[in-house]
Chains A and B, each alone.
Chain A
Amino acid sequence: MTFLHPSIFLAGLVCIAIPIVIHLLMRRRRRPVPWAAMKFLLEAYRKQKRRLTLEQLLLLALRCLLIGLVGIGLARPMIGAAAGLTGPGPRTVYLVIDNSLVSGVRDAAGTTALERQQARAERVLEQLDSARGDRAGLIVLGGPAEAIVAPPAVDLAGVKSAVRAIEGTDGPADWMGASAVLRSTAAARRGDEPAASVIVLSELRAGSVDLRRPAPKLGLEGGGAVLVSRPAGEAVDNVSVLDVEPLRGVLLKGAEGSGGAGEPARVTVRRSGPGVSKAGVSEVRVSVEGAGGEGGKAGTGLVRWASGQEEANVSVAVPADAGAFAGSGGGSSGRVLAARIDNDALAGDNIWRRPVRLGEAVEVALISPPVGIAGTIEQFTPTDWYRLALSPDGDGSRSGGEVRVTVIESSQAGVRSLAGFDAVIVPYPETLDDGAWRAIGQFARSGGAVILNPTPGESVNVWTDAMGRALGLGWELARESRELAEPATIQPGREGAEAGAGGLLGLLGGELEELLKPVRVRRLLDVDLKDVSARVELRTGDGKPLLVVGEPAGGRGVVAMLLAAPDLAWTDLPVRPLMVPLVQELVRQGAGRAGGAWHGPAGSKAPVPAGAIELRGGSGGSGGSLVMAAAGGESAEAIRRAGVWRALDSTGAEVGLIAVNADPEAAHVEVQTESELAPWLTALAGDSGWGWLDDDSLEVKPGMAAAAGGPGLGAGRAENGMPLSLPVLLGAVVVALAELAVARWSSHARGMRQEGPA
């Protein structure tokens, strides 16, 4: 047991002597009373002596106990709490320092919150004494929480050095992880070791403590107190970049429609702080960068904030200049699209990166059996239609070389022949053997886009089994196509606002319905979409899927299947205006999306391309450090800092870039009041008491008074923080009543009044 106010406890102990001192003083002042009938007085006294002595001792004990209990009660005792801080024995202190993203908030002097907490931690450590046996542990909260010094060490100088070496992270505060570390440490604690106390050093902004989520218990088994630094009181303005998303996953040099300025990218920004109530302007710059941070010109956009507006989107044209393409090679290669804003109070969330494919053209392989040269439209094969849709000019490339088509014979299809392509179109799947299917499967899982359609004609589709094995889509395709009784119209796969959103055809937007109107479908291959993740992009008028998009099992690619062959016997789609944008979007969006969104928030494991076994730090990252990638498609460890990482396969070749961005949820800089935090901290401390850390003193202070009237669990317990205070004071009241009763009984005044004069 320990006390929130040890000084009051000590004062109470001293005050126990008051009754004794009064007794001695009163004893000294009495003048002897001469008495003649002493014989009888002594006789009476001898009879009553034992009882009188007992009464006096009982009274003295009760009075001392009363004062002692009042002193203890006012000193706010806590069972098992803060013993490590106020007890006479060696102390064990865990410093839990918040180095999450929001700890990078700078004050007016330019000092970050983390630097301030580091200084406080050093002052706390200076109060410990190695010679006494004090020990200190160090845990950082930046997600995931990390035990820097655990179990606690007596080398306080070393701990201080470790404190100085703490760097900020770009992830959220991982209270759960810190709790787990403390629990494991507490479990490993020997019985004779003192209970550890925890000192939490954080500004407790909204980015560090999410009050909407329940607090984990720190699990200080065996006692120990929790001291928490008081929350920040200074509100700051901050703008965070939440996302940057190009319209297509592959950025092409000199894309049409961009006016020569490059592909547009949509940037999402959010602002917080007191400045939200005012109108303002933020400048956003978007550029293409390499893994090392090298990049070209930045396109700029302005966000005009309305009063009260917290989140906004802005479209910024990404300059496709030579600098951006430098080193990108001939085909599409790894680059990141980076959106930046000017530095503000929190620097970590001022940049957001997304890996993109960048190239001069999208490389498409058209796997087809040899086909003759068609003389008329009726003689056009699906291969012809695809080629025509991808290269309307008929020379294999459009202006600017956006899509480059290569025809590969079905018998030649293999892993090597498909290497370097962004997308594969299979108009005659029945012509592929198992080897070709395996190659296509591997291509898809490695981040390629595969576009399929049923083989024209009325043959039985036996290729579906091989396709299912290769791609693992989980769909069940009908063996035979069926001719529709009436040519069916086509409609978007989803209705209303969801139509096209997030799909491969999203860019077609409102034009899609107009393009769909003239299209009719006469024959269709039915599919049973057992895979719930499949997305129906188009369906017939009676609701049958026409264009289905899914992902291969165990990979990041995209498989799009057009369930009506682009053949005039099946549908008039090839001759409708929809054909060109449909195939173009399927190829370009599919290729971009199949490449994978290799980005994730800091503080968690990052997604990595299949085959990658190693991540190497790039720009903005912890350069040079290695993180082993797991086989499950994610990094072996959580990445704490934002940056760009290069994923390498077993041969050392780069298989993609991974962008780790600041966690936008951890970028909330809003301050939170002590009363708001009290319930959460109470839940965090659990059975242990907690208090505010004032003046960097190890003396435990009670929770704020304003919390006392708060609702629910936390407020009351947080204010009390000492489960024994109320019982002790109640005990003091009981003792006081007992003292009154005993004093009245032993004084015999009542008896005298009743007896009267003799």
Chain B
Amino acid sequence: MPEPPRRDVSLGQASGDGPAGGGARGGQERGGREDASTTAPGPDTGQRPVPLSTPHADLSLQLAPGQEPVDASLYLHPQTLARLGSFELRAKMIVEGMSSGQHRSPYHGFSVEFAQHRQYVSGDDIRHLDWKVYGRTDKLQLKQYQQETSLDLIVMVDASGSMNYGSRSFEEASGAGRKTGPDGNPAWTKFDHATALAAALSYITLRQGDRVGLVVYADSVRQIVKRSSSQGTWRQIVGALSTPPARLTPGEAPRPTNLARAVDQILAGVSNRCLIAVISDFFQDIGDMRAALARVRHSRHDVLAFQVLDRQETEFDLTETAPFEGLEGEGRVKLDPRAVRKAYLEAINGHIDSVEKLFKSFGYDYQRLGTHDWLGPPLAAFVARRNAQIKRSKYG
């Protein structure tokens, strides 16, 4: 597939020149507000804000001394941004934002969008009486409106050992002309793909004026970028994902995934209803995941599940007998891949199906992404499909 010509893409403006719509709903004034309850060492330490209006060539993040400058375009291809530019990430469920916005709030107020009538009781503000109803029915009815709020998106990125696998070359996947990732890995790993996805989601969210935060986890939460609607948040997120300790480095002890623990840690610090986007390969026990999701559900958070898989994992068309070594310390086993291919595919496909059913059983959206595919089209299709669903549920 020929690479499309690059365009200069504006990721928004600095404070005051944020993405369209975001600042219009007053999000801009709380754009820099951070959730004081989340604390973790983040890559944003010492970062300087970078104007978002610079072309993609100037997307380099300002990092701490000694850190390799990371070019955001390594992960978020302008083509992807262009594809996602017209989409909005909407909360499917009711969320509780810190400001008014375009998302449904659990509270009814007196806002713009009519919700229902309620019988007047003493003490109500008579300004909300519906005089027209009174004129027709001689009954006092109050007009109630649906209160809309802003969206808090928490992007959870799995940084376990299994995410450090990729069979696609970084150069080909990135399209940025660079042969290796920031860690020197020539392969476009699932974590790279998750980084790109997180960047894209963050971009969409920030552009619509909502807050976005990042949680990098493996066996536990490893790194957090506090929720914020400020335009610098996007760079913080990409920077956090591009640098240790979020990214596994060669020689680092592999860590298994423990979603339940990470969820517990996150829920402990989140008081409002949020949209949580989980990006992982979900190579973990289904039961543990079910328990974690049950707790999320109990807290009435909305969840977007993105399962990132490498094509080699789902096709397993290797032909050479070789020792296979697990990335999460499972050990090493020498085998002929052709001999176990059938059983392996049965096992992994069964697991993938189980993961999908699990999320859908909780009413959450699930999207499978392949590292060999361009991120833009499936993500755009997913967002569009989701928004359509939201519209249908809202307007019947």
For residue A530, CB closer than 8 A to chain B, the reply is no
Q: Given A33-B323, A37-B283, is A749 in contact with B315 using a C-beta cutoff of 8 Å?
A: no
**From A27, A33, A44, residue with most partner B Cβ within 10 Å:** A44
Cβ contacts under 8 Å, B324 to chain A: 32-35, 38, 41
In the complex, chain A residues whose CB is within 8 Å of the CB of B332: 32
Q: B330–A39 contact, CB under 8 A?
A: yes
Complex CA–CA separation, A42 to B343 (angstroms): 10
Q: Mark A35-54, 1 if CB is under 8 A from B, else 0.
A: 11111111111011000100
Q: With A and B bound together, what is the CA distance between A288 and B332 in angstroms?
A: 106
- Mask: chain B, 39-78; 1 = CB below 8 Å from A; 0 = not: 0000000000000000000000000000000000000000
- Do A36 and B164 touch across chains, with their CB atoms under 8 A apart? yes
Q: Which residue of A34, A45, A48, A748 contacts B325 across the interface (Cβ within 8 Å)?
A: A34
Binds B, one of A585-593, A628-636, A750-758: A750-758
| Chain A neighbourhood of B334, CB < 8 A | 27, 30
Residues on the A chain within 8 Å of B357, using CB: none
Which B-chain residue is minimally distant from A755 (CB atoms)? Answer: B342
Chain A residues within an 8 Å CB radius of B330: 38-39, 42
Mark B296-320 against chain A: 1 for CB-CB distance below 8 A, else 0: 0000000000000010011111111
Give chain A interface residues in 692-724, CB to chain B under 8 Å. none
Check B340–A52 contact: CB distance below 8 A.
Answer: yes
CB contacts (< 8 Å) of B315 on chain A: these are: 757-758
Q: Does A406 contact B (CB under 8 A)?
A: no
Chain B residue contacts of A751, Cβ below 8 A? 338, 341-342
Q: Known: A32-B324, A45-B335. Contact between A37 and B319, CB under 8 A? A: no
Contact A45 to B165, CB < 8 A, known contacts A30-B321, A35-B327, A758-B349: no
Shortest distance from the beta carbon of A38 to any chain B beta carbon, whole Å: 3
Residues of chain A within 8 A (CB-CB) of B197 are: none
B163 within 8 A of A: yes
Contact B190 A36 (CB under 8 A): yes
A-chain residues with CB within 8 Å of residue B313 when the two chains form the complex: 36-37
A43 near B326: Cβ-Cβ < 8 Å: no
- Judged by a CB distance under 8 angstroms, whether B328 is at the interface is yes
Judge whether A746 is part of the interface by a CB distance below 8 angstroms.
yes
Across the interface, A43 reaches (CB within 8 A) one of B314, B339, B347, namely B347
B314 x A33 contact (CB < 8 A) = no
Say how far B173's CB is from chain A's closest CB, in angstroms: 16
A27-B321 Cα distance, complex, nearest whole Å = 9
The reply to whether A758 and B326 contact each other, CB–CB distance below 8 Å, is no
Please state if B190 and A32 are interface contacts (CB–CB under 8 Å).
no
The residue from A33, A37, A746, A758 contacting B322, defined by CB atoms under 8 A apart: A33
Q: How far is the CA of A34 from the CA of B329 in the complex (A)?
A: 11
Say if the beta carbon of A111 comes within 8 Å of chain B. Answer: no
Are B327 and A44 in contact (CB-based, < 8 A)? no
Docked complex Cα distance between A45 and B336 (Å): 10
CB-contact partner of B339 in A32, A37, A40, A55, under 8 A = A55
Q: Which of B163, B316, B323, B340 neighbours the largest number of chain A CB atoms within 10 Å of its CB?
A: B340
Complex CA–CA separation, A137 to B9 (angstroms) = 107
Q: Which chain A residues lie closer than 8 Å to B327 at the CB level? A: 34-36, 38
> Which of B164, B310, B314, B333 is within 8 Å of A42, CB to CB?
B333
Interface flag for A212 (CB, 8 Å): no
Q: Check A41/B344 contact, CB under 8 A, given A36-B165, A48-B339.
A: yes
Interface: B162 (CB within 8 A): yes
Q: A44-B347, A758-B349 are in contact. Are A35 and B341 (CB under 8 A)?
A: no
| Residue A533 interfacial (CB < 8 Å) | no
Alpha-carbon distance between A48 and B340 when the two chains are bound, in angstroms? 7
B345 close to chain A: CB less than 8 A: yes
Q: Closest B-chain residue to A752, C-beta based? A: B338
Q: A35-B324, A36-B163 are in contact. Are A757 and B317 (CB under 8 A)?
A: yes
**Alpha-carbon separation in the docked complex, A638 to B344 (Å):** 89
Q: Is the CB of B325 within 8 A of A758?
A: no
Chain A residues with CB under 8 Å of B183's CB are none
CB of A416 closer than 8 Å to a CB of B: no
In the complex, whether A190 has a CB less than 8 A from a CB of chain B is no
Tell me if A35 and B336 are in contact (CB < 8 A): no
Interchain CA distance A45-B348 in the complex, whole Å: 13
Q: Report Cα–Cα, A743/B339, bound state, in Å.
A: 11
Question: Counting CB contacts under 8 A, is B261 at the interface?
Answer: no
CB contacts (< 8 Å) of A379 on chain B: these are none
Q: How far is the CB of A45 from chain B (nearest CB, A)?
A: 5
Closest to B324 in A: A35
Residues of B contacting A757 in the complex (Cβ-Cβ under 8 angstroms): 315, 317
User: A747 on the interface (CB 8 Å rule)?
Assistant: yes
Question: B333 contacts A45, CB within 8 Å?
Answer: yes
Q: In the complex the two chains form, what is the Cα distance from A376 to B319 in whole Å?
A: 135
Q: How far is the CA of A41 from the CA of B336 in the complex (A)?
A: 11
Residues on B with beta carbons closer than 8 Å to the beta carbon of A35: 165, 324-327
Task: Report the minimal beta-carbon distance from B163 to chain A, rounded to whole angstroms.
Answer: 7
Bound together, the chains give a CA A429 to CA B314 distance in angstroms of: 130
- B299 CB, min distance to chain A CBs, angstroms: 29
B339 touching A748, Cβ below 8 Å? yes
Q: Which of these, B164, B283, B317, B344, contacts A44 with CB under 8 Å?
A: B344
B323 and A52 form a contact (CB under 8 A): no
Indicate if B373 sits at the interface (CB-CB under 8 A): no
Q: Nearest-CB distance from B187 to chain A (Å)?
A: 9
A386–B332 Cα distance when bound, in Å, is: 127
Whether A32 and B323, one on each chain, are in contact in the complex, defined by CB atoms closer than 8 angstroms, is: yes
A33 / chain B contacts, CB cutoff of 8 Å:
318, 322-325
B335 close to A748 (CB less than 8 A) = no
On whether the beta carbons of A40 and B338 are closer than 8 Å, the reply is: no
Most buried by B among A30, A34, A748: A34
Are B345 and A41 in touch, CB under 8 angstroms? no
| B190 partner residues in chain A, CB cutoff 8 A | 36
Task: Give the contacting residue for B310; candidates A36, A40, A43; CB below 8 A.
Answer: A36
Chain A CB within 8 A of B386 CB: no
Chain B residues near A213 (CB-CB < 8 A): none
Known: A27-B334, A39-B283. A32 touches B325 (CB 8 A): yes
Is there an interface contact between A38 and B328, defined as CB atoms closer than 8 Å?
Answer: yes
Asked whether A31 is an interface residue with its Cβ less than 8 Å from the other chain, the reply is: yes
Once the chains bind, are B339 and A746 in contact (CB under 8 Å)? yes
Residues in B whose Cβ lies below 8 Å from that of A27: 334
- The answer to whether B163 and A45 touch across the interface, beta carbons within 8 angstroms, is no
Bound-state CA distance A31–B324 (Å) is: 9
Q: Which chain B residues lie closer than 8 Å to A42 at the CB level?
A: 326, 330-331, 333
Q: Report chain B residues within 8 Å CB of A41.
A: 324, 333, 335, 340, 344
Q: How far apart sit A34 and B167, CA to CA, in the bound complex (Å)?
A: 10
Residues of A contacting B148 in the complex (Cβ-Cβ under 8 angstroms):
none
Residues in A whose Cβ lies below 8 Å from that of B320: 30
Smallest CB-CB separation from B325: which chain A residue? Answer: A32
> Does B346 have its Cβ within 8 Å of any Cβ on chain A?
yes
Q: Are A37 and B162 CB-contacts (below 8 A) given A44-B346, A47-B343, A758-B314?
A: yes
- B164 partner residues in chain A, CB cutoff 8 A: 34, 36
Q: Does B96 touch A at the CB level, under 8 Å?
A: no
- Does B351 interact with chain A (Cβ within 8 Å)? yes
Answer whether residue B281 sits at the interface, using C-beta atoms and an 8 A cutoff.
yes
- Report the Cα distance A37→B341, complex, angstroms: 12
Question: A31 to chain B: closest CB distance in Å?
Answer: 7
- Interface membership of chain B positions 369-385, coded 1 if the CB is closer than 8 angstroms to chain A and 0 otherwise: 00000000000000000
Candidate in A47, A55, A746 with the most chain B CB atoms within 10 angstroms? A47
Q: 16 A–B contact pairs at CB < 8 A?
A: A30-B322, A30-B323, A31-B322, A31-B323, A32-B323, A32-B332, A33-B318, A34-B324, A35-B165, A38-B326, A44-B340, A44-B347, A45-B340, A47-B340, A746-B339, A752-B319
Interface residues of A (CB under 8 A from B): 26-27, 30-45, 47-48, 52, 55, 746-749, 751-752, 755, 757-758
Nearest first, the 7 A-B pairs at minimum CB distance are A38-B326, A44-B343, A36-B165, A748-B338, A36-B162, A44-B344, A40-B347
- Interface contacts beyond A36-B281, A747-B339: sample of 20 additional A-B pairs, CB < 8 Å, sorted by A: A32-B325, A34-B327, A35-B327, A36-B313, A38-B330, A38-B331, A40-B347, A41-B344, A42-B331, A42-B333, A44-B342, A48-B339, A52-B335, A746-B339, A748-B339, A749-B338, A751-B342, A752-B338, A755-B342, A758-B314
